[in-house]
Structure 1
Amino acid sequence: MTGSISALDAVKGRRSVRRFLPDPVSEPVIEAILQASSRAASGTNIQPWLVHVVTGKTRDSLSSAVLRAAEAEETSLEYPYLPARLKEPYLSRRRKVGFDLYALYGIDRHDMPARKAAMMRNFDFFGAPVGLFFTMERDMPQGAWLDCGMFMQNVMITARAYGLETCPQQAWCDFGAVVHAELGIPDDHILLSGMALGTIDPSAPENTLVSERAGVDEFGTWHR
C-alpha cells in the first residue's frame, strides 16, 4: 500500500539507511517499485538496466560468500568508482560524512578494527531483507551509466512511497567476481551497484545521519 508522501518530500527525505528491521517485503511490492522506476529516462529509450533481486536463502548465501572474501581481503574490483587521488572539495566531503557516521556508531576515527567492522555490515545489507543488484551489458558506453543512475534514483525514491528505505551500496563491486558467481551474472554484464531495501530501524543512531549538501551557489552557474 502506497502512502501519501509527496514527490518533493520523497526526494528531500531520502538518505542512506544503515540499519533495517527484518520485516519482509513482499514480491508484489518489489515488483511495483521496479515497474514504476522503469519510467526513468534513457537515451533513445534503450532501457539498459538489469536488476537481480536477492532474498531469503540466496541473500544469506551471497552475504556469507562476500563476507568470507572480504575477511580474506580477496578483492575483485568491478570498476574504479573514485579517482586514485581525490581532490578538494570532494576529499573533505568524503571525510566529513565518514567521521560523522563513525561518531553516531560510537567509533573513534582512529579505531581501525571498529571501522572495518562497520564497513563489513554492508555485506549483510545492514540487516535489510532485500538486496538489489543493478547490472547492464558491459559494452554499453557512458550514456547508459547515466540511464542506470536515473533508474536507481527512481528505485530509492519510489521505495519511500511504500514506506520503505534504501541504501545504495557500491561496496559490493569490490567483490564483483563473488557476486557474479553467486548470482550467475554473465561475465559480459557489469555490476554497477548493490542496494539494500527494507524498513528503517528508527531506534538506530546511525539512521539519524543527514549528510550535508552544497548550496546551489556552490554548484550552480547562472547564464543570463
Structure 2
Amino acid sequence: MERAVIGAAPGGMSVSQAVDGRVSTRAFLDRPVPRALLEDVLRRAARAPSGGNLQPWTARLVDGEEIAALKALMCVRIAELPDGEPMAHPFYPPVLTPAALARRRRNGEILYGALGIDRHDAVARKAWIDENFQFFGAPAGVLLFIGREATPYQWLDLGIYLQTVLLLLREAGLDACPQADWAMYAPTVATFLDAPPDLMLICGIAIGHADPARPENFIRTERDDPLAAFTLR
C-alpha cells in the first residue's frame, strides 16, 4: 500500500511541477511547520541513490526554542568573527571560468536588484548575507553533515539527497532555501548541536512558508542549456 504524503497539496504534484516550482526562498512568514512533517520528509528523502548505498548524509532538524537559540548565538558569533571561521573547503575554485563567473555576477544582479541594494554598497550586502544565519526568518531549519573521510563522490550523493529533500518539501506545500553559507561557521554550529567530531557541516536548509510581500521571493534565476558545451561545437 502506498503511503500518503503528509501535507501534500490536493490533487498531488508531479515531479516536473516540483522541479519547475522550486525556488530559493529568502523571506519567510512567522508560521510554524509541523515537526512530524519535516521528519517525514527527511526520512523519505533517504530513498535518494548513493554509491554503494553508503548513504553518507546526516540531517539535523532545528525548530522551536532550539532554532531561536541558534539564531541568537549566530548574532553574537557574526559580531565576533564577521568573516567567518576557517573552512575545511572553499566555496568556489580559485579561478572561475568566464561562463561561471558571468553566471555568478548575473545571479547577484538579479537578487540585489530585487532587494534594491547597490552593487557597491558593501555594508548592505554584508547585512543581507548575514540573514542566512537567521534562516531568513524561517521557523525551521536543517543542517546537513557528511563524514570527514568522504570523497567527492559522497559529496555527490549528499547533493542528490539535498535535492530530494527540496522537491519533497515543495510537494508538501513548503518553501525552502539551501544555504551553503552555514559552512562559514561550521565549528560554532557543530559545538551548539553537539555534533560528533567525525562529521563535517556542509550546508543548511531554511524551511517554512514564503512571505508573499517580499520581492526577493519573486525572482527567477536563469539557467543555461547543460547540453550546449557538446552540441554547439
On whether the aligned pair clears a TM of 0.5, the verdict is yes
Q: TM-score of the superposition, structure 1-length normalised?
A: 0.94
Give yes or no for the alignment of 1:188 onto 2:198.
yes
Aligned to 2:23: 15
Alpha-carbon offset, residue 200 of structure 1 = 1.0
Give yes or no for the alignment of 1:64 onto 2:72.
yes
* SS of aligned partner of 2:209: strand
Deviations 1:120-169 (A, max 9, x none): 11111011111101112111222111111100000000001111011000
Change (3 A) 1:64 1:186: same
1:78/1:175 contact within 8 Å kept: no
1:78/1:191 contact within 8 Å kept: no
The letter of the residue matching 1:113 is: V
Aligned to 2:105: 95
Q: Which runs of 4+ in 1 moved over 6 A?
A: none
Deviations 1:46-97 (A, max 9, x none): 1111001011221122122223222232523242121122231111111111
Alpha-carbon offset, residue 206 of structure 1 = 0.4
Give yes or no for the alignment of 1:210 onto 2:210.
no
Alpha-carbon offset, residue 219 of structure 1 = 4.5
* Aligned CA-pair RMSD: 1.5
| Alignment partners' CA distance in 1, 2:186 and 2:66 | 16
Aligned to 1:25: 33
Alignment of 1:213-224 (within 5 A): 213-219=223-229, 221=231
Deviations 1:22-44 (A, max 9, x none): 11111110122112211100112
* SS of aligned partner of 1:214: coil
The letter of the residue matching 1:51 is: A
Structure 1 unmatched ranges of 5 or more:
none
The letter of the residue matching 2:31 is: D
Alignment of 1:72-87 (within 5 A): 72=80, 73=82, 74-87=84-97
Aligned to 1:149: 159
The letter of the residue matching 2:173 is: G
Aligned to 1:55: 63
Aligned to 2:8: 2
Aligned to 1:108: 118
| Alignment partners' CA distance in 2, 1:147 and 1:105 | 34
* SS of aligned partner of 1:195: strand
| Alignment partners' CA distance in 2, 1:147 and 1:99 | 31
| Alignment partners' CA distance in 2, 1:45 and 1:143 | 12
Aligned to 2:169: 159
| Alignment partners' CA distance in 1, 2:173 and 2:188 | 31
Structure 2 unmatched ranges of 5 or more:
1-6
| Alignment partners' CA distance in 2, 1:105 and 1:219 | 33
* SS of aligned partner of 1:52: strand
* SS of aligned partner of 2:168: helix
Change (3 A) 1:66 1:221: farther
Residue identity over aligned pairs, in percent, reads: 37
| Alignment partners' CA distance in 2, 1:34 and 1:51 | 7
2:148/2:199 contact within 8 Å kept: yes
The letter of the residue matching 1:2 is: A
| Alignment partners' CA distance in 2, 1:78 and 1:66 | 19
